[in-house]
Structure formats: structure tokens, C-alpha cells
A = this chain, B = another copy of it.
Amino acid sequence: MARGPRFVPLPGPLDEEDQEGALNANRVFYRAFNERDFGLMEEMWAHTAAVSCLHPGQHPLYDRAAIVESWRRILAGSGSTQVRISDERVLFARGGLALVTCRELLPQAPLIATNGYVKEAGAWRIVHHHSGQTPPPATTQTQAPAAKRDRRRLH
């Protein structure tokens, strides 16, 4: 073993710099929605990598122009609706590839999203957006506090 370890450790799924880059891109993506900034939304979609966008209950879109057009319509038709992002999680981020999940809290429905990012010419761009229904986050906690109150009432 004088020449060093025979096996070098494999790289883990999270590189700190890539993780930060992907999380920042995720925030810019939703900022483009909240500010109705179509130019920023268009810019955020990767230009050379394969892209896909799975809006809830709709046909999948795999064509960049069709995806950008779908967002143009969404931004034009969503009035002043604001989406609040919570529970952001980075599944992996390394070597310019990243996968992020987050809740999309919209006034009309709680959604949850999977967003894929790649680093393209030095900038993190979105390559994949998949959004779908999920129960509101609060309902996971309704049982525990109720049980606590019941217990207090028994004493």
C-alpha cells in the first residue's frame, strides 16, 4: 500500500458548487413565472440539450419551441398568480447535471415538481419540468397535533 490506496473513493452524487448552481437556476425558473418574464423563461430552457416538459394532465412536450410557446401561454393567462416554492431538494448535482424536486404552492392547487438541469456553456439551464398534483403539505401533520390535543383532554 506504499503507492497509495488501490481503490479511490467514487464521487458522491452531490458536488456543492453544482448543487448551488442548480438550486439557483430552480429559483430563477420560478422567478420568471412570478414576474411574468417571458424572455427569462425562454432563456432558462436549454438550447442544445434535449428538453422535455410534462405539464399536469397534458400531452408531453419534447420540442423546445413547443415548450417555450406553452410557457408563453401560461405566463399570458395566469394573471397575477404567484407560485411559492417550498421543500426544495437536490437528488443529485455533479459534473453539470442536476435533479431538483420542490413543491409548487399555487392558490388553486398544491403541485409538486421534478426539474432537471444541465450546465450549458457555463450556465445552468432547465432541461426537464414535470409537475403534478399532490395533497397540501399541511395535511401530513394533521394527525399528530389532534392526537396530542385528545391526550390532554383525557387528563
Contact = CB atoms under 8 A, between A and B. Distances in A.
Interface of A: 10-14, 49-52, 54, 56-60, 62, 87, 89-92, 94-97, 99, 101, 103, 112, 114, 116, 118, 121, 127-128, 130-135, 139-140
B60 A134 contact: yes
Contact of A99 (B13, B87, B101, B116): B116
Contacts of A56: 132-133
Residue in A60, A95, A127 with the greatest tally of chain B CB atoms within 10 Å? A60
Q: Give how many copies assemble into the complex.
A: 2
Contact of A134 (B54, B87, B92): B54
Contacts of A51: 91
A10 B95 CA distance: 11
Contact of A121 (B10, B52, B114): B10
Contacts of A87: 60
Contact of A52 (B89, B118, B133): B89
B114 A91 contact: no
A59 to B, nearest CB: 6
B140 A128 contact: no
Given A95-B94, A118-B13, A89 B101 contact: no
